[in-house]
Amino acid sequence: MSAALAPLAEVADALSASGAPGTLLSRATSHLAASGFVVTAWRRTPLGPAPAAGPGPLAERRAAEACLDAPASPPADAAPVRQGGTLVGVVTGPGLPRAALEILAGLFAPALARLAEAPGARPTLIGKSKAMQAVWDQVTRVAQSDATVLLRGESGVGKELVAQAIHLQSARRAGPFITVNCSALPRDLLESELFGHERGAFTGAVQRHTGRFEQARGGTLFLDELGDLPPSVQITLLRVLQEREFRRVGGTETVRVDARVIAATHRDLESLIESGDFRADLYYRLNVFPIRVPPLRERRDDITLLVDYFIEHYARLNARSVQRISTPAIDMLMAYHWPGNVRELANCIERAVLITDDEVIHGNHLPPTLQTAEATGTIGENTLDNTLDTMERELLIEALKNARGNRAKAARALGISERVMGLRVKKHGIDARRFKARRRPRGSDA
């Protein structure tokens, strides 16, 4: 046991120093190499000793790279590293004492949690619903190839995040991920932005410009809002995809394409083809591996996961102490139809985090569009009685939730008798049993 714990002092010293999380982790794990321990940032590559050049920006970038090739759950012989209930890593060591693994897990938790929030290392997609599992299955299948992918879905569903997930799982993950919003660029400059131009190619072209296809060399080019491409650029893009080469605007040099292309659109391309606004041959060239990203209303099981993530993210970003959202507020979110999808939900939670005065987001902190009868699924007029009933029901639910379904304890917290509590719970049709903590089966892990 003492031999297994020998490097813990050096690890503790390395992790307590100041510096970027990736650098600290590289230093700390260098003390474990001879002991058989392996510390892994969850869904990332194992963290080994710092490169020969020593800790620095390169070590930080390598440690923060997300490779998304970890299994779906930690190995049975691994000690999970958790920070705030979130799995941020695992510690393994074949044949080594479990106590040593668990001590290491506690030491590494803060640094791994910080690494999870490093630029480029945060989770790309959140969701456990069947709809999102289907998306993940398709991402996994296509990532290892260089096939062109066409992402379909409404605005705000997270098509760019799906494209990033494909890139991070591909052999090109060490290369750049370049994004082009085809609807945001002026039509007369779009071809130059995509393919570049030579000096003097047109008025104002005072020097050579490297296009997005060249910038994405060795990586992935993401063409967002593809349905807004003008016909002239569609022809050039088709030729580039077919021949894998192009010439800069005003140039004669042939440039080879070394980038994987992922395209996305919220528009009905089939209708655009019928109207003559989109080329059919380009559509078939791009539609090699189509993936439909579902709208939020089709993946309501993911709303609570997304809400938890956005609360933590925006609370940290704005230095707020918000911890959770009330059950009635969650009910309002679940009842809403979300025309703006995940982007609208993110904006909604950010607003709520900023205006709440305590650690809980309540229904009145949500946007007015969610508080209408149509959005919440409630029926009735905005009378004083209805408003008071709504507030009373929310207070009862919050008290029961905090008391884990114990009506006597909830009554004491509200300053009312158990009899009054029972009458109010019955009046509002609240089932206190839904808030009771479930007992863990014997022998289950904590």
pTM: 0.60
170 or 151: which carries more pLDDT confidence? Answer: 151
pLDDT band at 93 (very low <50, low <70, confident <90, very high): low
Q: Are 413 and 402 in contact (CB under 8 A)?
A: yes
299 neighbors 126 (Cβ within 8 angstroms): no
Nearest to 1, CA basis, from 95, 75, 137, 68:
95
338 in Cβ contact with 295 (< 8 Å): yes
How far apart CA 341 and CA 126 sit, in angstroms, is 13
pLDDT class of 115 with cuts at 50, 70, 90: low
What's the confidence (pLDDT) of residue 123?
43
Buried b vs exposed e over 219-242: b needs ≥16 C-beta within 10 Å?
Answer: bbbbbbbbbbbeeebbebbbebbe
Which residues, in sequence order, are bridge partners of residue 325?
Answer: 361
Distance of alpha carbon 223 from alpha carbon 141, whole angstroms: 21
Q: What was the pLDDT predicted at 266?
A: 94
Beta bridge partners, 152, equal 265, 292
State how far the Cα of 112 lies from the Cα of 107, in Å rounded to an integer: 10
CB atoms within 10 A of CB 78: 17
Report, as an integer, the average pLDDT of 255-259: 88
pLDDT band at 38 (very low <50, low <70, confident <90, very high): low
Distance CA 125, CA 122 (A): 9
* Mean pLDDT, rounded, of the chain: 76
12: confidence class by pLDDT, cuts 50, 70, 90: low
Pairwise CA distance, residues 435 & 433, whole Å: 5
Delineate the domains of the chain, giving CATH numbers in brackets.
8-116 (no CATH), 130-294 (3.40.50.300), 296-379 (1.10.8.60), 382-446 (1.10.10.60)
